[in-house]
């Protein structure tokens, strides 16, 4: 980690094990429209914002409904079960090791509402110097805007930042922003993450 001054973490799939509940909330909600999806069908959407997932699925099925409103309805299922979301084993140990030695940030496609709820439940509020959610940007991952904003707030150069991601679109965003990117195989297979600079099988292996 020579030359690295800041570590930026993705949220879902890196800090928290939320993908199972996220997937369930979409599958359960979309049944209201007669859309039957399996867990495997949802993997292509890992890293997307909820609104964009709904929008894409509605378009494929010819459903003309406001995706923003629909996603708010879908989020109610997620929030109702939010206590099921757990912090990944090893993350707390990692953040304690790096906190104080490096600047830390969180960059996520989740909403500020969801991030705040989970951080309060698990007492994560003091762990990050900078937090960027989907509500802070006009373009979400795979666009580079989320990471560029975090880098700007951290006041470091992109090549001095290490990003920890778990999805192909997250990696694309991080690399486009000029950072060094480590991928964790918590959500996707290793071969899907080959654009990362390094691939590890758990978050505690990043340092």
Q: What is the mean pLDDT of the chain?
A: 96
The closest alpha carbon to 46, from 192, 202, 191, belongs to: 192
Which domains, and CATH codes, for the chain?
Answer: 6-18+85-205 (3.40.50.1000), 19-82 (1.10.150.240)
pTM equals: 0.93
Q: What share of the chain in percent tops pLDDT 90? A: 98
Give the Cα separation of 160 and 4 in Å (integer): 5
Give the torsion sign (CA, 53, 59, 61, 64). Answer: positive
Q: What integer pLDDT is reported at residue 74 of this predicted model?
A: 98
The SS3 call for residue 181 is: strand
Q: What integer pLDDT is reported at residue 203 of this predicted model?
A: 94
Q: What integer pLDDT is reported at residue 34 of this predicted model?
A: 96
Q: What integer pLDDT is reported at residue 207 of this predicted model?
A: 87
Q: What share of the chain in percent tops pLDDT 70? A: 100
**In Å, what is the CA distance from 34 to each residue of 59, 61, 184?**
14, 10, 34
Residue-wise pLDDT tens digits, 30-81 = 999 999 999 999 999 999 999 999 999 999 999 999 999 999 999 999 999 9
Range list of β-strands (E), 32-176? 86-87, 103-107, 130-132, 161-165
Answer for the pair 161, 5: CB distance below 8 angstroms, yes or no.
Answer: yes
Q: What integer pLDDT is reported at residue 1 of this predicted model?
A: 73
Answer for the pair 53, 90: CB distance below 8 angstroms, yes or no.
Answer: no
Residue-wise pLDDT tens digits, 147-206 = 999 999 999 999 999 999 999 999 999 999 999 999 999 999 999 999 999 999 999 999
């Amino acid at each position: 980690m020579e030359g690295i001054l800041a570590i930026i973490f993705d949220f879902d799939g890196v800090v928290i094990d939320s993908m199972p509940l996220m997937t369930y909330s979409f599958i359960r909600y979309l049944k209201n429209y007669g859309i039957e999806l399996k867990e495997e069908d949802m993997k292509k959407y890992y890293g997307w914002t909820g609104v964009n997932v709904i929008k894409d699925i509605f378009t494929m099925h010819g459903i003309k409904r406001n995706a923003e409103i629909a996603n708010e309805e879908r989020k109610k299922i997620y929030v109702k079960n939010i206590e099921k979301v757990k912090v990944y084993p090893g993350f707390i140990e990692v953040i304690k090791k790096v906190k104080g030695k490096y600047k830390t940030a969180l960059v996520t496609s989740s909403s500020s509402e969801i991030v705040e709820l989970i951080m309060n439940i698990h007492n994560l509020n003091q762990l990050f110097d900078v937090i960027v959610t989907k509500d802070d940007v006009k373009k979400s991952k795979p666009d580079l805007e989320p990471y560029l904003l975090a880098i700007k707030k951290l006041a470091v150069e992109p090549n001095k930042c290490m990003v920890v991601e778990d999805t192909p679109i997250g990696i694309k965003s991080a690399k486009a922003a000029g950072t060094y990117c480590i991928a964790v195989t918590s959500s996707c297979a290793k071969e899907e993450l080959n654009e990362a600079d390094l691939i590890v099988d758990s978050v505690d292996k990043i340092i």
